[in-house]
């Protein structure tokens, strides 16, 4: 029986697990119930060494022969602060929290993969190890500005792992289609907070002070010209303001204006250039007699799908759904903290089509929903990629 057929036999079990998690969503680093369910399920499967509280609420399961190479498979577990309005009968029972990005299905799929690979190791044909990495907090950072992936890595979750694979469901792509691109797939994401200051004063007497709102005109013009005038057009980049705040009443010129923005890039040089240019733009305030403070926070690195590992997974996907159903170009300026793991262990992330029929269930919205029939396909792709890797069946690229 093929891996895909065996995965389909597990679809009832994966669906049950996914719905259990969906009904009890937990936010970043609060995945206590979810991680308990994960650890319990791994123990039931048996033969898996289970470590809990890895990266606060993460769970790591290890299975294998001890010697040989090690491949890691990652699923994230956290939900979002959204009031669910999807209409499914297993909706969130925690008001204001919702699995609106499919991490419930990622977790359930990876538990299905653990089932499948346990059976494979029992056959004795594999040499090497699989690490099941159930990660907290993909959607948010903690007080140390760290999301789940680097927190787990600090706790050694990737030590000894040679390659990493993962998938993400895609609610806007039909079941049976996937995105699998070599090279960059997600952007480096950094952010800034800036305070532009003048003296402020009476609105009727602007000449007596310095006006930070007026200084914003050249500053914003300059910020919005960074990408169009300063960055090599062959390198993707974004500078977007998300917050502009200042003032309280109509006749008082405020002393301070507050700005927040996000920076996106792929190329490391462009990433540094954006940080330099944003500061140069904010520093225009000094030219107009004001002053500024700026803080940058470095976020996720760019996600890079290793060509070799991507080529392996592509062989498996092609056998299951045909090469025509693979979008090899899909990339954007979004961010994914799986990128940290890819930096340490060359790997790849698959975008798994999981759209329900109406195609109106966008990620991070209250109506988000997926078609669960995508889950066995995702589990089979991950499990078969790991199996062939450990059976030495992949030749070169």
Give me the numbers of helices (H) and strands (E) for the chain, helices first please: 11, 16
Question: How far apart are alpha carbons 308 and 114 in whole angstroms?
Answer: 24
Q: Which is nearer to another protein, 141 or 222 (CB)?
A: 222
- The total of other beta-carbon atoms located within 10 Å of residue 306's CB is 18
Neighbours of 83 (CB within 10 A): 11
Q: Cα 149 vs. chain centroid, distance in angstroms?
A: 9
Q: In the structure encoding, which two tokens stand for residue 380, read together?
A: 């089979």
Residue 328 sits in the site that holds another protein (CB under 8 A) = no
Q: Is 197 in the site for another protein (CB under 8 A)?
A: no
Question: Choosing from 31, 84, 139, 372, which is the catalytic residue?
Answer: 372
- One of 17, 100, 227, 350 touching another protein (CB under 8 A): 227
Identified binder of another protein from the candidate list 27, 140, 213, 238, rule CB under 8 A: 238
- Which residues does 233 contact at the CB level (< 8 Å), separation at least 6? none
Give the span between the Cα atoms of 211 and 280, in whole angstroms: 19
Of 53 and 240, CB closest to another protein:
240
Is 372 in the active site? yes
Q: Residue 115 in contact with residue 45, Cβ under 8 Å?
A: yes
Q: Does 114 bind another protein (CB under 8 A)?
A: no
Catalytic residue among 266, 292, 300, 340: 300
Cβ atoms 133, 72 nearer than 8 A: yes
Binding status of residue 239 toward another protein by CB under 8 A? yes
- Calculate the alpha carbon distances from 169 to 37, 178, 326, 384 in Å: 21, 9, 14, 18
Q: Which of 124, 234, 358, 396 binds another protein (CB under 8 A)?
A: 234
CB of 331 to another protein, least distance (A): 6
Q: Which is nearer to another protein, 237 or 354 (CB)?
A: 237
* Bridge partner list, 298: 190
The yes or no reply on residue 225 touching another protein (CB under 8 A) is yes
Q: Indicate the residue among 125 and 240 with the shorter CB distance to another protein.
A: 240
Q: Which two tokens stand for residue 186?
A: 């997600």
Is position 268 an interface residue for another protein (rule: CB under 8 A)?
no
CB of 227 to another protein, least distance (A): 4
Least Cβ distance, residue 183 to another protein (angstroms): 11
User: Of 143-151, 231-239, 270-278, 382-390, which segment contacts another protein by CB under 8 A?
Assistant: 231-239
Distance, in Å, from the CA atom of 320 to the CA atom of 329, rounded to the nearest integer, reads 19
Active site residue 300: yes
Interface positions with another protein (CB under 8 A)? 221, 224-229, 233-234, 236-239, 264, 331-333
């Amino acid at each position: 029986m093929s891996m895909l057929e065996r995965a389909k036999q597990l679809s009832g079990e994966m669906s049950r697990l996914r719905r259990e998690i969906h009904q009890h969503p937990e936010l970043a680093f609060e995945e206590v119930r979810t991680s308990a369910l994960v650890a319990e399920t791994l123990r039931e499967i048996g033969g898996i060494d289970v470590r809990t509280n890895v990266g606060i609420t993460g769970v790591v399961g290890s299975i294998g022969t001890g010697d040989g190479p090690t491949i890691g498979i990652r699923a994230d577990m956290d939900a979002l602060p959204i009031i669910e309005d999807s209409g499914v009968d297993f909706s969130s029972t925690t008001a204001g929290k919702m699995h609106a990005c499919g991490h419930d299905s990622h977790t359930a799929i990876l538990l299905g993969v653990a089932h499948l690979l346990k059976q494979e190791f029992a056959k004795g044909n594999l040499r090497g190890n699989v690490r099941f990495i159930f990660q907290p907090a993909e959607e948010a950072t903690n007080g140390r500005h760290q999301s789940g992936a680097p927190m787990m890595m600090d706790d050694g979750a990737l030590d000894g792992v040679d390659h990493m694979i993962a998938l993400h469901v895609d609610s806007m792509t039909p079941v049976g289609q996937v995105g699998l691109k070599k090279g960059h797939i997600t952007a480096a994401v950094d952010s800034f907070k800036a305070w532009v200051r003048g003296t402020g004063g009476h609105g009727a007497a602007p000449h007596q002070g310095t006006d930070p709102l007026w200084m914003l005109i050249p500053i914003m013009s300059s910020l919005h010209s960074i990408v169009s005038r300063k960055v090599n057009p062959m390198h993707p980049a974004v500078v977007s303001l998300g917050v502009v705040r200042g003032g309280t009443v109509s006749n008082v010129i405020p002393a301070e204006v507050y700005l927040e923005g996000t920076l996106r890039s792929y190329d490391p040089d462009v990433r540094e250039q954006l940080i330099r240019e944003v500061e140069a733009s904010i520093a225009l305030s000094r030219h107009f007699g004001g002053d500024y403070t700026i803080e940058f926070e470095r976020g996720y690195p760019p996600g890079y799908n290793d060509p070799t590992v991507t080529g392996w997974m592509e062989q498996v996907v092609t056998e299951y759904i045909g090469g025509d159903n693979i979008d090899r170009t899909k990339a954007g300026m979004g961010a994914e903290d799986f990128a940290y793991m890819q930096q340490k262990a060359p790997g790849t992330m698959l975008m798994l089509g999981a759209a329900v029929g109406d195609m109106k269930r966008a990620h991070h919205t209250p109506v988000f929903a997926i078609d669960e029939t995508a889950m066995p396909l995702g589990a089979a792709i991950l499990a078969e990629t790991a199996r062939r890797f450990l059976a030495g069946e992949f030749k070169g690229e």
